[in-house]
Structure 1
């Protein structure tokens, strides 16, 4: 394009020189005018050609610029595409992970819902059971209150009856004592214990006289064979003869039926054969009594002279 420009400049200079040389002549001027017109025409053509070339160059330059710009844009687009693709892959992976988590959470939610439903059902069943038990408890409480009231009424009645019984027993004892005092054969003078019957006298006699009285009654002076019987007789709190003696042989105690004692309930230091109180050098203590002044129920036997007069107890085995 530079060569075309220099060439146009040379032609313009030539036109100017010719124009100067032929300016003084008409012919020259006419020729110059014609030549000038041809030159102008050529100049216009050349200028138009230059314009076209310039236009083409500008188009090429623009195309090159646009091409370079498009290449850069394409490169940028490729980079953006790769980034988007990478991001898309990451998002796809994240989506898959979220989907997996969603599925797992959905499964857990369903399991929890099932557990919740089961627990709700159990709670409802327990509530029903609780209501039933509460109703039963209330019924039992009502029954208990009724029974408590009835018990209190029965207790009151029992206390009244007990008091009446005690009064009747006292009256009975008084009457029996009065009757036993009046006649020794009255049947209520006998006391029953462990299937045996005992008669407690209100009179006083010697040991032998007492023994004979028991025989007339179809009994014998009491023979004590157990701790329970000893406690029962001691509870009468009365000084009485019992059927024990060593008259046959001093120091060998036997019951009135000839049997030896299987156990003994002597008071402390007893039997002493009268060593503590010597009223006579020939007096001996060969008969046994229940001595009510001794406090312990299992230590109440005492030896006494057989001619002392005290009350007695007869025993009848039925």
Structure 2
């Protein structure tokens, strides 16, 4: 019994030990499988986490791009809305102003329509009055026309009778005129005969006059030739005479250049004795001519009447001047102008005392 019990116990113990070993092995296997499963799960988890991270990154990038696009669209929409608001505001103001203008025009049209209506009524009244007046005038004119017709009928009858009388008188006048025409025709023929006789006489006189005219032309040619020869001789004599008496011609004037020296007053008296006066210089060319004489001479310019107001001897004011530098200086009693050609410049005038001694130039527009 004890052996059986021990055997049973040992068998139970062995079976228990086997069971424990089996359980340990199972537990280890289970742990290994759990570890393996855990490793696999952790790997899967890591892979899944990586995928999730990638997805999150992609999602974030997409969302960021979407946000940027949305923001840009929002800004563009805001700008569009702002411009639309501005345009709408401007259009609204324009429409409001146009509505106001149309309202004012409507009021003006109403007032003008009322005025036109009143004017139309007044015109209708006026036209009605004028129509009545015209009707009365038309009746009066009709009556006057009837009276005028009656009067014209009487006058027509009178004119007819007068026409008959005039016709009779015309016939008598025609007879008288026919007789006078015949008489005039006979007179005309007589006049033609007389004209023929006069034409013959005039022809003879014309021939005589032609011969006389030709003779006169020949005589005129001879006289012209003789006058031309005499004119040329006189010209040569005149030029020789001018040279002998000291006159020089320049342009349309003649100039006497003195060989003596006198005061300005005495020089002018000498020119006046010659029937002329001291020279009046009116142009640059005339100044150049005087300068070329290379002499110290008086000219016909002074301010004796009023200091500083220079006048020529004919009373005309000075317009074209050829004063030296610093002249006129009115140093003392220097009231007369002279020309001294010692300089190469065209400006040769100087104011000097009228009592100084100098030559002079007389000017004449006619031969001496």
Compute the TM-score of the two structures, normalised by the length of structure 2: 0.39
Relative contact order: is structure 1 or structure 2 higher (C-alpha 8 Å, sep ≥ 6)?
1
Larger Rg: 1
Name whichever structure is richer in helix by fraction.
2
Q: TM-score, normalised by structure 1?
A: 0.44
